[in-house]
Amino acid sequence: MAEMVERLEPTPPREPYGKLFWRFLRFGMLAWGGPVAQIAMIREELVEEERWVSSEKFNRALALYQALPGPEAHELCVYFGMTARRRFGGFLAGAGFMLPGFVLIFLLSWLYVQYGSALAALAGLFYGMQPAVAALIVRAIHRIGQHALTDYWLWAIAILTGIADLLGTSFWVTLPFAGLAYLSVKREKYAFAGALGIAFIAITIAFSPFVHLIIPAPASDLSLRSNASLLALFGSGLRAGLLTFGGAYTAIPLLQHDAVDVNHWMTNAQFLDGIALGGILPAPLIIFGTFVGYIAGGAWGALVMTFGIFLPAFGFTLIGHTYLEKLIEHKTLQIFLDGLMAGVVGLIASAAITLFRTAVTDLVALGIFLIALLILYRWQAKAAVAVIMLAAGAAGLIFHVMSK
């Protein structure tokens, strides 16, 4: 009997700290292809080959981190590090996994700021990459929406929150509404749900004029818009880290709201450039937040923004894994999170419309967008995103040179 228990719930090896850090640093250097590929890589080595935990325990942990905000592949690394060497091991594993992507995006951000305006070729590169980013976001909406919008109520919530966001309503209003509205409907409290909907529509109309639909998108600009305070950057990163349910794409509208719409740290074009750079790196896509921080506040801004974004991912695992594993089973919370996720889908759709208007400015850009979108639907390889970004950039560069 004891042998059967041991076989079902194996004990992870007590690796030296250096070896543990190097193992997850290697994972970080090979983290191509987005969260699905990253999780598959981690599972293959640590569950199927080396049996750190049983497959059942891994599935429970993965389900927990998919329900919680933050990049689930990174959170799984923290989890495995903690199972091997407690909390310090978890910190080393998480730091090792994110370090390669952070270093690369930091260097690219520095090059972008220092030499971007002086390199004419860079304009052509990002001219091609920006429509591909727009296609990437559209594909993400479909992929996330397939799993998140499972009934008509969730579709209605997504549509309402998307429209409200286009009209300028803060996500601090839309996301609580989304969760509470769906909870009310599922509990059959239709009168409260109706009152909540009327109040939400009234707030949207009263405080959100149609400015986002009639004001043209700002032109691309490689110069710094403004210098942000480190506290503001940390707060923005922390909010994004706490609200990124369903993957890194959910951070896009949240960071865009802070960096472009409210604080004017950067333009929509620069924001798209940051996502494009993040998409070609072996890292969770949310690493593009480091670029946002660098544009807004230089090197310290990049560090502070990154710290804020990844702090919840470390904290949920290192401090509250056991408690959260129990909490996430609470049915009421699950219903609220389902509604909140529908609201997030609406926010991503709103961001996609805004960024599409910035990225697709002529027929060539539209062609790049459509081709990239078609390839994203047809090609599921691990390196697909990076290859598409680089190919789109090359196409934009060629057009930029030929048009002169």
Q: Are residues 152 and 239 in the same domain?
A: yes
Whole-angstrom Cα distance, residue 383 to residue 32? Answer: 6
Question: Of the candidates 63, 81, 96, which is a domain's last residue?
Answer: 96
Q: Are residues 128 and 273 in the same domain?
A: yes
- Statement: residue 391 has pLDDT above 50: yes
Q: What's the pTM value of the predicted model, to 2 decimals?
A: 0.76
- DSSP string of 116-182, one letter each residue: GGG-HHHHHHHHHHHHHHHHHHHHHHHHHHHHH--SHHHHHHHHHHHHHHHTT--HHHHHHHHHHHH
SS3 16: coil
- In 3D, which of 321, 309, 376, 283 has the Cα closest to residue 35? 283
pLDDT band at 309 (very low <50, low <70, confident <90, very high): very high
pLDDT band at 61 (very low <50, low <70, confident <90, very high): confident
Task: Give the mean pLDDT of the chain.
Answer: 82
Q: Are residues 316 and 348 in the same domain?
A: yes
As given in the structure block, the two tokens for residue 65 are 């981190």
Question: Of the candidates 96, 119, 148, which is a domain's last residue?
Answer: 96
Q: Are residues 181 and 292 in the same domain?
A: yes
Q: Are residues 85 and 116 in the same domain?
A: no
Q: Are residues 36 and 167 in the same domain?
A: no
Report H helices in 285-362: 288-327, 331-359
Whole-angstrom Cα distance, residue 108 to residue 113? Answer: 9
Q: Are residues 222 and 206 in the same domain?
A: yes
Q: Are residues 202 and 72 in the same domain?
A: no
Q: Are residues 85 and 118 in the same domain?
A: no
Angle at 377 between CA 374 and CA 378, to 5 degrees: 85
Whole-angstrom Cα distance, residue 371 to residue 349? Answer: 20
Question: Of the candidates 74, 96, 118, which is a domain's last residue?
Answer: 96
Residue 87 lies in domain: 2-96
Q: At what angle do helices 268-279 and 288-327 cross, to 10 degrees?
A: 70
- In 3D, which of 244, 239, 305, 234 has the Cα closest to residue 75? 244
CB 266 within 8 A of CB 255: no
Count of domains observed in the chain? 2
pLDDT band at 166 (very low <50, low <70, confident <90, very high): confident
- In 3D, which of 93, 34, 156, 110 has the Cα closest to residue 303? 110
Highest averaged pLDDT of the listed ranges 206-215, 253-262, 290-299, 349-358: 290-299
Q: Are residues 157 and 301 in the same domain?
A: yes
Q: Are residues 15 and 54 in the same domain?
A: yes
- Give me the half-sphere count of Cα atoms (radius 13 Å) on the Cβ side of residue 193: 16
Q: What is the mean pLDDT of residues 48-54?
A: 87
Q: What is the mean pLDDT of residues 276-303?
A: 90
Angle at 65 between CA 13 and CA 35, to 5 degrees: 85
Q: Are residues 309 and 365 in the same domain?
A: yes
Highest averaged pLDDT of the listed ranges 156-160, 196-200, 350-354: 156-160
- Statement: residue 234 has pLDDT above 80: yes
Residue with tokens 């009639």: 214
pLDDT, tens digit, 9 for 90 and up, residues 182-229? 988 888 887 887 888 788 777 777 665 544 444 444 444 444 445 689
Whole-angstrom Cα distance, residue 150 to residue 153? Answer: 8
pLDDT, tens digit, 9 for 90 and up, residues 74-117? 989 999 999 889 889 999 999 999 999 999 999 999 988 887 65
CB 367 within 8 A of CB 191: no
- Tell the burial category of 48 from Cβ atoms under 10 Å away from its Cβ (0-12, 13-18, 19+): exposed
pLDDT band at 347 (very low <50, low <70, confident <90, very high): confident
Q: What is the mean pLDDT of residues 259-282?
A: 88
- What pLDDT does residue 102 have? 94
